[in-house]
Amino acid sequence: MRKLSLFFLLTILCLATTVFADNIVFDLSPTNGVTSRGPGNGTGQGVIVDTTQSISGMQFFLDSPDGGNFKFFIYNGSNDDLLFLNSMHVDPISQMTWVASPTFNYTLQAGNTYYFGVISDANADYGYIYPPIDYSSNGLTAVTSGNSNYSGYGVPIFNGNGGAEIGLRLTEAAVPEPGTLVMLGTGALGLAGVLRRKLML
C-alpha cells in the first residue's frame, strides 16, 4: 500500500512539473562572448514583433560573483518609454547561467519593437553574440543592429547602443491540455482514495 501511495504521489509531482513549466518562445542563444558591467549599468536586446505574443518572463545569460539586486525591464522601440519593470535579489553566481526574471504577464503587440533589459546594483557579466545573427521564432525577430545599454539602477535610462546581440530568452506560461488535466486529476483522486482507505484501516 505504501509503495502504491508513493507511486501516485510521484506521478502527480512529475505531471505538475511538466504541465506548469513555462514554454520558451524566443531563444537568442548560445552566446559566444561576455561583456562586463559595473554597478548601476546594464544591457538589453531588441525584439521586433510581427505576431502578437503574450510573455510571462525573460531570461539573461549572466553571472554575478557578489550577488546583487537585479531589475528586468521593457522599453519601447525608441528606448524613451519604460513600459514594464520588476526586480529581485540574486545570490552570488560564480559561472554563467540563465537567470529568469520574476513571473509577469505582458502582451507584445504586433508591429512594435521592444527592448528587454537587465541592470544590477553590483558587478555582473552578460553573455553576448558577435557577430550578430539573424534569429526569428514565433513571430519575434532579434534586432541585429546592436545591443542597447542602460545606466542608473533606480530608473534605468538608455545610454547608447553596442555592436552585439545580448543572449535573451522570452517565456510564456504553459497552458495545459485538457487531457493532461484529466490525467493530473485522476492521479490526485487515486492518491486521495488510497490515503482514505489507509486512514480507515
Q: What is the pLDDT of residue 14?
A: 46
Whether 15 has a pLDDT exceeding 90, the answer reads: no
How far apart are alpha carbons 172 and 122 in whole angstroms?
A: 28
How far apart are alpha carbons 20 and 57 in whole angstroms?
A: 14
Whether 166 has a pLDDT exceeding 70, the answer reads: yes
**Percent with pLDDT over 70 in the chain:** 77
Q: How far is CA 166 from CA 122, 128, 169, 191, in A?
A: 19, 4, 10, 46
Among positive and negative, which fits the CA dihedral 148, 103, 170, 13?
positive
* 10: confidence class by pLDDT, cuts 50, 70, 90: very low
* 19: confidence class by pLDDT, cuts 50, 70, 90: very low
Q: What is the pLDDT of residue 184?
A: 46
How far apart are alpha carbons 135 and 49 in whole angstroms?
A: 12
Give the least confident one: 2-16, 51-65, 95-109, 148-162.
2-16
pLDDT digits (tens, 9 = 90+) for 105-143: 999 999 999 999 999 999 999 999 999 999 999 999 999
Question: Taking the mean position of all CA atoms in its chain, how far away is CA 1?
Answer: 41
pLDDT digits (tens, 9 = 90+) for 20-58: 579 999 999 999 999 999 999 999 999 999 999 999 999
For residue 181, give the 3-state DSSP assignment.
helix
Q: What is the pLDDT of residue 21?
A: 75
Contact 45, 115 (CB under 8 A): yes
Domain 22-173 part of CATH 2.60.40.1220: no
How far apart are alpha carbons 8 and 156 in whole angstroms?
A: 48
**Domain residue limits, the chain:** 1-20+178-201, 22-173
Number of C-alpha atoms within 13 angstroms, CB side, residue 196? 6
For residue 79, give the 3-state DSSP assignment.
coil
Here the cell at position 187 is: 492521479
Contact 50, 90 (CB under 8 A): no
Q: What is the pLDDT of residue 2?
A: 52
**Percent with pLDDT over 90 in the chain:** 75
Here the cell at position 111 is: 508591429
The DSSP code sequence of 69-94 is: EEEEEEEETTS-SEEEEEEEEE--EE
Q: What is the pLDDT of residue 201?
A: 59
Whether 7 has a pLDDT exceeding 80, the answer reads: no
- Which of 161, 167, 158 shows the shortest CA–CA distance to 145? 161
